[in-house]
Homo-oligomer: A and B are copies of this chain.
Amino acid sequence: MPLRSQPENALLEKIHRAFSAARRTRGGRRARALGDSLALGMGDDAALFLPTPGRETILTCDWFLESTHFLRDQHPADALGWKSLARAVSDIAAMGGEPRCFLLSLALPRDATGRWLDAFLIGLRRAAKRFSCPLAGGDSTQRREILINITVIGEVRKGRALRRDRAKPGDLIYVSGHLGEAEQGWRQLRKRGGRASRTEPGLKKHLYPEPRLALAAWLGEKRLATAAMDLSDGLSTDLPRLCSASRVGAIINPAGLPTVRSAAASAAESTNLALNGGDDYELLFTVSPAHAKKMPASFAGIPITQIGEITKAKKILLSRVSASPQILRPRGWDPFR
């Protein structure tokens, strides 16, 4: 009797195989190749993780749902595999930490357990290798639509985590990279319809975002950032969250935002995208004026731009030349709006 004859077992084994291929096996027991801290991977009731002494464990989880966050007929499955992990790992970056391992919860329609799943796992495995974040376990079930939930476990030196609630009035506000690029790609794809090609110009950041792990770890190690978070829902939605946690306000110079230059968008449209476009997974962080001189113009090729300043008054203002400051309204991604 084949003990593993059941469909759910078969699905779990397919996922297991895709990831254990990347590991060495010795004497029938799993060796530690992808992650040194993973004491027991998939196949038991739960995974075992060996924490590093002197580190705090970072915990984050993230929904990634068909129809809500992606469309099966427009987004390539391998990009969804990459992005599902990258966006959760971005929360580890936002804390100044290093990813250690992840759990995958997957609910799939029966017709997605073949080629779709194969391609999804290729993208997921590529991301797992890039971020040194092996699969530790998960859960699977059947469902009409594809549902993904990812939990990432990370570590950060005790007391060095980048938090949201430590920004002070007078701190300078910075962002990494260009803002609005992912949203611009998504608009381009929505407008023309059909399935995105994996290499289509303008879609790279929408399909394969890169969490800013190295920059955030540097900011944490050097104690340069007073507060930080990742930009997942758009600056106009996320900056108020940082300000609210720190009980401060902010003033932003819209003309100084690192927008995406494109023939397709006017300057006003680019600014609008930079303020309200979601899914960029860039870092938003604050630095005390005393440390401003230490901030480079770019880090490992990623531009770093000062976009404004933290204020005592609990308002978020846009300051334009030759006009009085306007209040910035949150117009980023909100699933309940």
Contacts and interface: CB of A to CB of B under 8 A. Distances in A.
Interface in A1-33: 1, 3-11
Interface in A149-171: 149, 151, 153-154, 156, 158, 161, 163-165
Contacts of A62: 105, 139
A138 interface: yes
Given A334-B6, A337-B6, A46 B63 contact: no
A36 to B, nearest CB: 13
A46, A48, A49 — which one has the most chain B CB atoms within 10 A of its CB? A46
A161 B164 CA distance: 36
Contacts of A51: 51, 55-57
A255 interface: no
A58 B38 CA distance: 10
Contact of A8 (B44, B327, B335): B335
A244 B57 contact: no
- Chain copies in the assembly? 2
A315 interface: yes
B3 A243 contact: yes
A5 B330 contact: yes
B61 A137 contact: yes
A50 interface: yes
A38 B154 CA distance: 15
A336 B143 CA distance: 9
A34 interface: no
Interface residues of A, number: 81
Nearest to A141: B335
A44 B165 contact: yes
B95 A44 contact: yes
Contacts of A48: 56-59, 95, 156, 161
Interface of A: 1, 3-11, 39-40, 43-51, 53, 55-63, 65, 68-69, 91-92, 94-95, 97, 101, 103, 105, 107, 110, 113, 136-143, 147, 149, 151, 153-154, 156, 158, 161, 163-165, 229-230, 237, 240-241, 243-245, 314-316, 327, 330, 334-337
Q: Which 6 residue pairs across A and B have the least CB separation, nearest first?
A: A7-B336, A46-B60, A45-B94, A51-B51, A142-B335, A3-B244
13 contacts: A3-B243, A3-B316, A6-B237, A6-B334, A46-B58, A46-B154, A48-B56, A48-B58, A49-B58, A51-B57, A59-B136, A68-B142, A149-B149
